[in-house]
Amino acid sequence: MWLADNRKPAFEESRPDASSSLDPADWPAFRALAHKMLDDVITHVETIGQGPVWQSQPEENRERFRQSLPAGPSDLSAVLDDVRTHVMPYATGNLHPLFMGWVHGAGTPVGMVAEMIAAGLNMNCGGRNHVGIDIEHQVVRWMREAMGYPETASGLFVTGSSMANFVAVTIAKTEALGLESRRDGLVAAGRDLIAYASAEAHGCIAQAMQLSGIGSANLRMVPVDTAGRMMPSALGMMIRQDRAEGRLPFLAVATAGTVNTGAIDPLGDIAEIAARENLWYHVDGAIGAIAMLSDEMRPLFSGIEKSSSVALDFHKWGQVPYDAGFLLVREGEKQRRTFDQPAAYLQRADRGLAAGDTWPCDLGPDLSRGLRALKTWMTIETLGADRIGQSIAHTCALARHLASRLDAHPLFEVKAPVALNIVCFGICGGGSDLVRTLVIDLQEQGLAAPSWTMIDGELVVRCAIVNHRTTETDLDGFIDIMTAYLRGCGF
């Protein structure tokens, strides 16, 4: 047993010169620079609505990031000045209330501070016995509760829902083929595995099929109704046909909030079919699942609690800074047996740093991983689930407001039902080219950042209202900006 007196190991004397450390030589000077930078980032967030939504980088700015590897040091204060002039003005724009082009979260100041703390503590959350693992478990418990999952459920932070969906497909595949398929691969199984998702499913589902070796040709695109929701009767028919032709249906993927229009597949109906047909039932809830925190919106997602797994993104509607994707799996044991590895360097002990039963590295492909859980835990702990839920419901109310204003306006026409927070609209008497130039011009002028998508073969303007900073006044102003633009084009 070591005593306090013994703490100084003998090699202390022979320690090399302190200059081999990468820590600052002058801590007070470092502290002052870091405090100033923190202030500047806080001001950036506090005043985000006053500047342009986005601005294109001038060529000189790109030049700053095309230099060769620096052999020697630079002053931190000079590097921070470069960050102020060459980085901060040219960010994505998703913090700004009129960024609506894509489903991007806006972050929160709390999340920003959490990231700083997480970087300072620099925990490796692949496993081992430390508090980072407990924080992740805390969030897993909360998400179980929010999704109506049982205590047997496991959960894992990953980059985003693309990765969460891939992990879910991998678990479903392993469950369908048996554990020996981990060793023997797909070929040995000798069966054509078939998955089903709606025609509106996110492209990462097809990619997950490719990465898992099953192939995207084995993903059936189930037709959708006029509101963009999967038609369960078509799903049932496609499964029966595949079985009749000797293939092995193994996975049904429902989308809770499609990327194009925010449509929610009939989660309860798909759950029934998946149960009857013995398929893994995965919900891609990248956009929508976190809305389970809202009392008002929860009923829209009825049936999600019957799924085998749910992918969700805290970094979208949850407003946790990037990245913070998450996968919840009803039967945690199935997730563990798909991914655990017997390596000697990952062996567990009954106490000490290697203590602990299931580590995050047993639940997915990552070994080294950061503390995504801290920013998520701090965001939910500080704001409370109700307030986050209300802000989510509020963006949906804003989307309905925008849609009704556009519908009443002679220049615009709403093109898809507003199920959640996404509004797609066309310009009366204007075609695809006008939609494209309007969107790009507004972005380049820094006035607003909508995007476009295709609906029924037609290019339309798409506004996804995800930002907790967006207000009705912002959206009314957005309609004025577009009207002025179109009048300028002779409308």
Ligand X SMILES: *Cc1c(COP(=O)(O)O)cnc(C)c1O
The verdict on 287 binding ligand X (CB under 6 A) reads yes
Among positions 100, 103, 133, 143, the unique one binding ligand X when judged by CB under 6 A: 103
Shortest distance, position 482 Cβ to ligand X, whole Å: 25
In this structure, are residues 415 and 458 in contact, taking their beta carbons and an 8 Å threshold?
yes
Among 19-27, 111-119, 280-288, 423-431, the segment contacting ligand X (CB under 6 A): 280-288
Nearer CB in complex with ligand X: 438/464: 464
Shortest distance, position 162 Cβ to ligand X, whole Å: 3
Q: Which of residues 155-184 bind ligand X (CB under 6 A)?
A: 160-162
Shortest distance, position 70 Cβ to ligand X, whole Å: 33
Q: Which of residues 313-342 bind ligand X (CB under 6 A)?
A: 313, 325
The verdict on 202 binding ligand X (CB under 6 A) reads yes
Among 2-10, 57-65, 73-81, 279-287, the segment contacting ligand X (CB under 6 A): 279-287
Among positions 284, 305, 366, 474, the unique one binding ligand X when judged by CB under 6 A: 284
Among positions 255, 308, 395, 421, the unique one binding ligand X when judged by CB under 6 A: 255
Shortest distance, position 288 Cβ to ligand X, whole Å: 8
The verdict on 95 binding ligand X (CB under 6 A) reads no
Nearer CB in complex with ligand X: 285/332: 285
Nearer CB in complex with ligand X: 325/360: 325
Nearer CB in complex with ligand X: 202/306: 202
List residues binding ligand X (CB under 6 A). 103, 160-162, 202, 204, 255, 258-259, 284, 286-287, 313, 325
